[in-house]
């Protein structure tokens, strides 16, 4: 069943396809009414300029040269410097761009801004001439068609930019819903999604649960900021110890969980011992329980077994601590 995200992804791809169809077609039309050696459309993303469509002999031009021409202050100074919702041909006249004698460097350019519906610059269209002499003014009888082409390209780029921004915001929101803001690892919702994917995977999978010992005392005696620092240190230590395709989540409080694809029980136990040692060096005591799917026959049972082993380890640590304290008081 298709969901809202699927429909949204389709709209993003549709906008990209539409722009890829519209921009070259408009460049072809511009070429009919204003012949140039090559045309290009540049889309601005912050300070970066991306060439999204070309027409003509663009392959013979250095990409660096074209980008410099589009961003040139000399070009901008030949125009009135305003952003035009309906481009003014007086601001789109031919202007010299290069004094070099190399054939790959354009000598003249027709340049027009492509603003979005708010008047902000979203792109630039430029036509290049490599000849020493070229027409300096746009023919007046071509003006309506050129205006229409520029406006159509501006709309296409604006739509593409709007959907790209919306896509970034949606991705950020989705990530925020799955990430624990304190530690930067997955939260319980993200852990659930990771488990859903792991259940479909074949092969061995190991799981581990980690619970900090005496965490409540840290909060009570040193303050919640100290407790938060301990959680951050723990999360960093776990992340540095895992591979790129492993995952770790903070399930709540001081409890962490790890999902370890293609990991044997022995390797998972070694990881647990290493984590206890690393955290111990920072004065953080933790109890860890691990299990493998091959032990129980299912991932769900492995999770339950790892959880039980973690609590057994915690109880044993508590028992050992009590014995140690009794001996010290004797």
H/E stretch holding 236 reads helix 224-241
Nearest partner of 239 among 231, 156, 164, 297, judged by Cα: 231
Q: What is the pLDDT of residue 330?
A: 55
- Spell out the per-residue pLDDT of the chain, length 330, in tens: 333 344 444 444 555 676 778 888 888 888 888 888 888 887 876 667 777 888 887 665 555 555 655 554 333 333 333 323 333 333 344 444 554 444 556 667 777 777 777 777 778 787 777 766 655 555 666 778 778 888 888 888 887 777 777 777 666 666 667 889 899 999 998 999 899 888 888 889 999 999 998 888 888 888 989 999 999 999 999 999 999 899 999 998 999 999 999 999 999 999 999 999 999 999 999 999 999 999 999 999 999 999 999 999 888 776 555 555 555 555
CA dist., res. 209 & res. 287, Å (int): 8
210 within 8 A of 238, measured Cβ to Cβ = yes
Helix (H) / strand (E) element for 242: namely none
In the numeric block, the tokens 């949204």 are attached to 8
Please give the distance of CA 330 from its chain centroid, rounded to a whole number: 60
Rounded to whole angstroms, the Cα distance separating 325 from 76 reads 79
Strands (E) located in 196-293? 205-212, 247-252, 255-261, 286-292
3-state helix, strand, coil in the chain (%, to 5): 55, 20, 25
Q: Are 31 and 39 contacting, i.e. CB atoms less than 8 angstroms apart?
A: yes
Predicted pLDDT at 176: 66
What is the pTM assigned to this prediction? 0.51
> Which H or E element spans position 100?
none
d(CA 94, CA 88): 13
| Angstrom distance (rounded) from CA 115 to CA 123 | 7
Structure confidence at residue 88 (pLDDT): 38
User: Domains along the chain?
Assistant: 4-176 (3.30.450.40), 188-329 (3.30.70.270)
Give, for 211, the enclosing helix (H) or strand (E): strand 205-212
pLDDT tens profile 204-256? 999 999 999 888 888 888 898 999 999 999 999 999 999 989 999 999 899 99
């Amino acid at each position: 069943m298709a969901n809202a995200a699927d429909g949204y992804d389709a709209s993003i791809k549709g906008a990209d396809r539409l722009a890829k169809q519209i921009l070259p077609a408009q460049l072809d039309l511009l070429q009919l009414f204003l012949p140039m050696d090559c045309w290009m459309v540049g889309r601005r993303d912050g300070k970066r300029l991306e060439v999204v469509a070309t027409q003509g002999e663009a392959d013979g031009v250095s990409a660096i040269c074209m980008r410099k021409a589009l961003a040139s202050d000399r070009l901008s100074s030949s125009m009135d410097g305003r952003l035009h919702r309906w481009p003014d041909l007086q601001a789109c006249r031919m202007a010299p761009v290069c004094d070099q004698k190399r054939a790959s460097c354009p000598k003249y350019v027709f340049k027009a801004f492509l603003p979005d519906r708010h008047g902000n610059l979203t792109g630039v269209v430029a036509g290049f001439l490599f000849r020493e002499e070229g027409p300096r003014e746009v023919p007046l009888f071509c003006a309506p068609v050129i205006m229409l082409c520029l406006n159509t390209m501006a709309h296409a780029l604006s739509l593409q930019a709007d959907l790209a921004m919306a896509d970034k915001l949606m991705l950020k929101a989705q990530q925020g819903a799955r990430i624990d803001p304190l530690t930067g690892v997955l939260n319980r919702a993200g852990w659930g999604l990771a488990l859903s994917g792991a259940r479909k995977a074949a092969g061995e999978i190991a799981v581990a649960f980690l619970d900090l010992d005496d965490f409540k005392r840290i909060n009570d005696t040193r303050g919640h900021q100290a407790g938060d620092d301990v959680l951050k240190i723990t999360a960093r230590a776990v992340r540095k110890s895992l591979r790129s395709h492993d995952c770790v989540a903070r399930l709540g409080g001081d409890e962490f969980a790890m999902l370890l694809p293609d990991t044997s029980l022995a390797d998972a136990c070694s990881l647990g011992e290493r984590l206890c040692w690393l955290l111990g060096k920072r004065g953080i005591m933790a109890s860890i329980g691990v299990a493998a799917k091959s032990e129980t026959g299912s991932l769900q049972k492995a999770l339950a077994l790892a959880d039980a082993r973690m609590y057994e380890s915690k109880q044993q640590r508590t028992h050992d601590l009590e014995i140690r304290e009794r001996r010290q008081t004797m």
